Amino acid sequence: MNHEDPVLLHTEGRIRHITLNRPRALNALNHAMVLRIDEALAEAELDDTVTAVLITGAGERGLCAGGDIRSIHEDARAGGGTSMDFWRDEYRLNARIARFPKPYVAIMDGIVMGGGVGVSAHGDVRIVTERSRIAMPETGIGFVPDVGGTYLLGAAPGELGTHLALTADAVGAGDALLCGLADHFVPSQLLAELTTALAACGKAAEIEETVRRYASPAPNGELAAHSEWIDSCYRADSVEEILDRLDNSGVPAAKQAAETILAKSPTALKVTLSALRRARRLDSLEAVLDQEYRTSCTAFTRPDLVEGVRAQIIDKDRNPRWSPADLAEVSEADVALFFAPLGDRELGLASGFRTTD
């Protein structure tokens, strides 16, 4: 095992460990990492000596901050297309994780955003700690939640997922559990001991039981206390009406949410709301990933992605110049283009997946 590899693999007991190993980049995913994780899962699935898979992130800062946004920014600026190849394989990996036949355990410690959510929140046993900060921050960079994010957020109670998608807010452990993004809270100081205990599990059925022994009630989150106005405001049919309801709710936190949303890409906001609503009507994660591939490929060709990454990641002036700059300038026809079929470039996951119902 080369400790400079971006993905480290080893087996402890009967647990196959996958460690994302780019700590200086907060374990951001690139194409080679996605392919290596997928290969590791294929091997673990066929290996009868492997009971479960455990994914963690190297370093102290988090599991994974998302995809390698700088590379995507450079690709988009150059008019390339390697990012679309990356997303194709990344979304296939997300689907593989969700359908993996053995327990897939994700330790969502520290920062878990974007692509980091994709390699963790579709798993069977999702563990958060007091350090967890989980988000789908795409609207802030002129992009749309992907990696199955619209599937996960669309399934959150009430309109909590809509709130998180539009504001791009990060949540801690308590709210991650509330929103269905995680399953168990384990204090960070117990993670090493938990990992050792998992290695002793001889059967898949013992994994969940072992995690429960180390789990405890999570610290209180913030969203439950705000669910009434969140549900009332975000059930509106348009971003403009959501903002109007937030502004006129008389709730300071709602007004702050409106201000947060207004700083995001108008196009990304409208496409994101439509994507969430559509995701709720689709019958599988695979169908949602197919939809997200369409929105991602279209967003890649639009100016807001390059500008958003420039403002937030490259220059860090936090002053993106969105195009168009106003919600009123983004028409329904503009939004519909993001969901248009891609012809022979479709991801096509749903066509190869059938429910057993």
β pairing state of 104-108 and 125-128 = parallel
Tokens of 185: 């809270």
Catalytic one among 90, 138, 169, 286?
138
Residue among 229, 214, 31, 26 nearest 135 (CA): 26
121 within 8 A of 182, measured Cβ to Cβ: yes
Task: Mark whether 68 is an active-site residue.
Answer: no
Task: Mark whether 67 is an active-site residue.
Answer: yes
Catalytic one among 75, 90, 146, 292?
146
304 within 8 A of 322, measured Cβ to Cβ: yes
Task: Mark whether 329 is an active-site residue.
Answer: no
CA distance 197 to 213: 10
Beta strands in the chain (DSSP E): 7-12, 15-20, 52-57, 62-64, 104-108, 111-113, 125-128, 133-135, 184-185
- H or E element that contains 213: helix 205-214
Catalytic one among 115, 140, 142, 149?
115
The Cα angle at residue 112 between residues 127 and 60, in degrees rounded to 5: 85
Residue among 108, 119, 91 nearest 183 (CA): 108
CA distance 177 to 89: 28
CA distance 131 to 142: 27
Catalytic one among 62, 66, 67, 149?
67
Task: Mark whether 348 is an active-site residue.
Answer: no
- H or E element that contains 125: strand 125-128
The catalytic residue positions are 67, 115, 138, 146
